[in-house]
Each structure stands twice: as C-alpha cells, then as structure tokens.
Amino acid sequence: MSNSHQNILFVFPGQGSQYLGMGQDLCGEYATARRVYEQANDVLGFDLTGLCLNGPEEELNLTRFTQPALLTHHIACLEVFRELSGGKVTAAMAAGHSLGEYSALVAAGALSFESALQLVQRRGELMGEHGEGEMTAFPLDIDTIRPIAERFHCAVAGCNLPEQTVIGGSADDLEQVEAAVAEEFPRKRAVRLKTEGAFHTYYMVTAARHYRGILAAGDFAEPGIRVLSNFTGGFHENDADSIRSRLFFQLFHPVMWHANLQAALGEGIDAIYEFGGGIGPGEPEAKRPNLEGMIKKAMRGTDFEVSYYAAINRQTIEAATV
C-alpha cells in the first residue's frame, strides 16, 4: 500500500462479474464482510449469503438477484479494504459501470448501503420483469456500428472503449446486425452477452417509468467525493434530484464508460482501485478483475501514468493494503 497517491479513483463493475461463491473467502476470514452480508440478508428479506455462496447459479444470474448480490460484494470488499488499510487510502472520486454506479454512490456517502440495496433490488426486479431483448459487444467505434445497428432497430447500450461498443435489441434483430458486421468487417468478432434484456436501450423505458417513483423516494445525500455519471459521461452534480434524474436516464441510455474514464484521467488521477466481482474460472482467489482490461486499454498510448490495484477477493485486498 502506497501513501504517495494523492488523487485516487475507486471503481465498481457491473453485471457479468458475478459468480457462484462470491464473498465466500471474505466471509470466511473477516467479520466485517460477514456483517455486510448479514445486513443485506435483513434488508432484502431473503438469504442473499446462501444464494451467493451456494446458488443455484441460474438464480444468482437473474437480474433481480444479481444486482443486490454484486452491490453487497462490492461493499464487503470496500469495507474489508478500509479496515486493513486503516483508512489511509481515500478516494477523490468514484465510478461504477451500470449497476456499479450505485456502489460508487455508497462509497461517496450519497447513499447508505441499506438505501442502495433497496433501490437495486427494485431496479433488478423491474429490469427483469419489463425488459426484453439481448445484447452484443462489437469491437467497433460508435460511429461505425450505430448506423448498422439502427438499420435493424437496435440501439447503442454502452461505449466501453473507442473500439468497443455494446448494442441492444431483439434476438432476431441482433442476428441481422451481427451478420451485417461479419460481412462488412470479417475480422471483427461480435460477442453475444448473457443478459436478461437489452439494458440501457429503449427496451428499458417501461422499467424506467416504474422505477422513477422508487428513485424519488430514495434517501440521497450530498456525496462526500465526486461521482461519475454513466448517463452524462461526466461528474454528477451534488444535489439529490440531479443524481436521481441521471440514474433514471441511465436505465435506457448508453453507459458512457470510456467518457467516465477520460473525465477521471483529465482530473489527474494517479491510482485506481477496483472493488468486487470477478471473471474467469475457478475459486474466488483465481478470479480476475472485470474492469482492469478496459481501464488499461483506455490508457494505452496516452501520457497518463496511473497505478492500478485490484481489491476483488481476500488475496488482492490483502496485497493492495500491504
């Protein structure tokens, strides 16, 4: 752990980074993590701990369960990190990819863990209930893929990198987009994502309309640090109503993740810590960070010098706080 960093960004991944056994290593070692999971069980009204640790996996992958599960793992990792670092590593700003934006708001003090859990529980339920369609990631820039997608009634769902754009639409429409791209760009391989719907597109409008009232009743405070907005690509304003509106629009507009990273880099960040989730096979200790690849690609070829630290399981958290 280095105390030399002055401008730190905390980041939190979104759906797709969940896995069976998530949190098992932390809960087995740290009472702090167990308390976070126990609080989640109480707030949600079901045994989230058991679902995360024992499954069934197909249930964990349902949006209504995935979102509170990931939020809980994010915060468990963050709280253990804070405990082990003795509070010496503090962020100047926070960001999250899609669902992860709620964890960033918790880290910033704009939402309590309990309030965030209540929000994402309903968010996940509504997205699963009212959402339709699927999603595909293309290694193409937005100006290239957007007209092809729109030709087949699909929409941009996320701008992760200059040449990584996610598209959402019906399964049949996405097949036509994939075929058109394969014909025009035979070396560009599309990847169909495992989601319950075309998140962050017009397919989520009904869910967003139902969610608006839930957001209005949510208990928001002024964030203690700056938080990036997926919807605008820049920083949230400090007032609660503005944050609510950005979270409302986030549901059916593209996640501007690359713009978020560019905004943070433009503010001179010198270190990034990623909390929670994990990808790849194996037990928790074998998982890889979800956002690391995108973050490092975003910095490639730039003059920015930023240190990166994973804090996604017991081993990485302990390494990051030595």
200 is catalytic: yes
Catalytic annotation, pick one of 5, 74, 200, 258:
200
Residue 213 structure tokens:
């009232």
DSSP 3-state assignment of 64?
helix
Bridge partner list, 308: 272
Tokens of 190: 């599309």
**Residue tagged active-site, from 17, 85, 98, 103:** 98
**Nearest alpha-carbon partner for 296 in 263, 266, 267, 258:** 258
Placement of tokens 């949510």 in the chain: 218
Residues shown for the chain: 322
Nearest to 242 by CA among 251, 232, 252: 232
- Whether 73 is a known active-site residue: answer no
Buried b (16+ CB within 10 A) or exposed e, 68-105: bbbbbbbbbbbbbbbebbeeebebbbbbbbbbbbbbbb
Q: Which residues are catalytic?
A: 98, 200
